[in-house]
A and B are shown apart, each in its own frame.
Chain A
Amino acid sequence: MTSVRIPPVLREHVDGQKEVGAMGETVGELIRDLVARHPGLGEQLLTPDGGLHRFVNVYVNGQDVRYLQEFETPVTERDAVIILPAMAGGA
């Protein structure tokens, strides 16, 4: 189980939790398992064809997976995974 940090804007879809566990050996598997466990995240994270929305970034150990191997980036239980969608609030 890899721990995934959920940003505040998405926590309503995971019962308010800050971190949730998901299974997978790659980022893609991990995200798909995460969505299977918390279906409310599906629309938030994934495009209709299963890719990551361009307004959502996923970081493994502080590195953007777009500059690693995207959904093929390997992950283990020891990796820190962060999901970070764009947020605009400034007021």
Chain B
Amino acid sequence: MRSSPVREVTPAQATEMIAQGATLLDTREQHEWRAGHLEGATLVPPVEVLNRAADVAPDPSQPVVIYCAGGTRSLRAAFQMASLGYRDVVSVAGGIVRWKAEGRPVEIPSDTPAVATNPRYARHLVMPEVGPDGQARLQQAKVLFIGAGGLGSPALLYLAAAGVGTLGIVDFDVVDLSNLQRQVVHADDRVGMKKTESAARTIKALNPEVKVIQHEEMLTDENVDRLIAGYDVVIDGTDTFETRYTLNDAAVRAAIPVVHASVFRFEGQLSVFVPFEGPCYRCLYPTSPPPELAPGCSVAGVLGVVPGVMGLLQATEAIKVILRIGDPLIGRLLIWDALDGNFSEVKLRRDPNCPACGQTAVLEPTLAAAG
């Protein structure tokens, strides 16, 4: 007679017990199950073990094999079942991670998206907020970047790495040596190359599964509606007020969320403009300052990492919007002071008289000219 009814076994020993008829239980969450499970297993999430044990393993005298991802939850479940009177309960040490590492087969549910088995996204797939369905949503998403510059560079890299299926890039510029202090999607040997092409090469090298659409155009009132059509989210990484208003007004017309950021020297600002759900850029600033009162980065300078941080926050917000998780910065303006090391936030409201999204707004492309 064994001293304890609970043991830990190797995948090989578990395989033998399963072949001899042991009951096989998977004690993980639904999203983990959907990414792949052992053949013949029954899913019993950790919180259901005590309640469902009698249903899934009616005879306490028969052996039960339990596994989870790494072997911790399954060991706890084994002790729970022992407390219910089961006499031979084993936990697979190392769990399904070790099982797969040993090259043993797993079964994928037929309705699981194909991306769920892609090891590239393993760290996403184990998180309940992403999981197979969230990863599939990222894969189906189309994100448009206005500008492959200081803000766009880090956001492009991380959204490509995250597996966003389609990345559009609007930029008519070529890579300049002075860009490389912060525009990390480009490279020294690409000075003079079109930024869209340079970015596309870097993205392809990082994640060839991502489709890149190159729009070698300057965003204008004439082409903006065509350029943003069909995209789910727009990342605003432009550096002029004209373009920001042009984009804002078109995004409101098309009801496409814009993740907005701007930088100046050691400071960055960020917000998410979801048309008609929160304020738009014109609610925040109805008009732009005259050029002499608002110097751009080329005149005033910017610490290279500042657009890096803000661009990554834009990428983060875009993922939150696509996956519909967390609290996107809708109606909130985040302000980061790099020198103070301080984040602060102010509240933004929809302006009922906003010329773009207010009650009396006229959704005409001519608005931007008045910006």
Question: Does B289 lie within 8 Å of A85, measured CB to CB?
Answer: yes
Smallest Cβ-Cβ distance to B295: which chain A residue: A9
What's the Cα separation between A67 and B266 when bound, in Å? 29
CB contacts (< 8 Å) of B307 on chain A: these are 90-91
Q: In the complex, how many angstroms separate the beta carbon of B233 from the nearest chain A beta carbon?
A: 16
Given A88-B238, A88-B239; A62-B289 close (CB under 8 Å): no
Number of interface residues of A (CB under 8 A): 25
Contact flag A7-B267 (CB < 8 Å), given A88-B239, A90-B236: yes
Q: Which residue of B lies closest to A85 (CB)?
A: B289
**Contact between B297 and A57, CB atoms less than 8 A apart:** no
Q: A84 contacts which of B183, B263, B302, B346 (Cβ < 8 Å)?
A: B346
Cross-interface CB contact of A91 among B265, B296, B335, B349, cutoff 8 Å:
B296
Instruction: Assess the B294–A88 pair: CB atoms within 8 A.
Output: yes
Residues of A within 8 A of B369 (CB): none
Q: Which chain A residues border B276 with CB–CB below 8 Å? A: none
Number of A-B contacts (CB under 8 A): 106
Cross-interface CB contact of B263 among A55, A57, A64, A89, cutoff 8 Å: A89
What is the size category of the interface that chain B forms with chain A? Answer: 35 or more
Please give the distance in Å from A54's CB to the nearest CB on chain B. 5
CB interface residues, B 249-273, toward A, < 8 Å:
261-267, 269
Residues of B within 8 A of A79 (CB): none
Cα distance A53–B290 in the bound complex, in angstroms: 11
Residue from A55, A57, A64, A88 having most chain B Cβ neighbours under 10 A: A88
List the A side residues contacting B348 at CB < 8 Å.
Answer: 64
Inter-chain CA distance A67–B297, complex, in Å, is: 31
Chain A residues with CB under 8 Å of B284's CB are: 57, 86
B51 part of interface (Cβ distance < 8 Å) = no
- The 8 Å CB contact of A55, one of B236, B285, B296, is B285
Question: A-facing mask of B301-317, CB < 8 A → 1, else 0?
Answer: 01000010000000000
Which stretch from B3-11, B36-44, B146-154 is at the chain A interface?
B146-154
Q: Which of A48-91 contact B (CB under 8 A)?
A: 53-57, 59, 62-64, 67, 82, 84-91
Chain B residues lying within 8 Å of A63, measured Cβ to Cβ, are 346-347
Find out whether the CB atom of A55 lies under 8 angstroms from the CB atom of B287. yes
> Which residue of B has the minimal Cβ distance to A11?
B265
B260 and chain A: residue at smallest CB distance:
A90
Q: Say whether A54 contacts B149, CB under 8 Å.
A: no
Add 9 more A-B contacts to A62-B344, A64-B349, A91-B239 (CB < 8 A). Answer: A43-B293, A55-B287, A64-B346, A87-B269, A88-B241, A88-B244, A89-B263, A90-B147, A90-B237
A-B contact pairs, 23 of them (CB 8 A): A9-B295, A9-B300, A53-B289, A54-B287, A57-B285, A57-B346, A59-B346, A64-B348, A67-B349, A82-B346, A85-B293, A86-B241, A86-B284, A87-B264, A87-B269, A88-B262, A88-B294, A90-B147, A90-B150, A90-B152, A90-B261, A91-B149, A91-B151
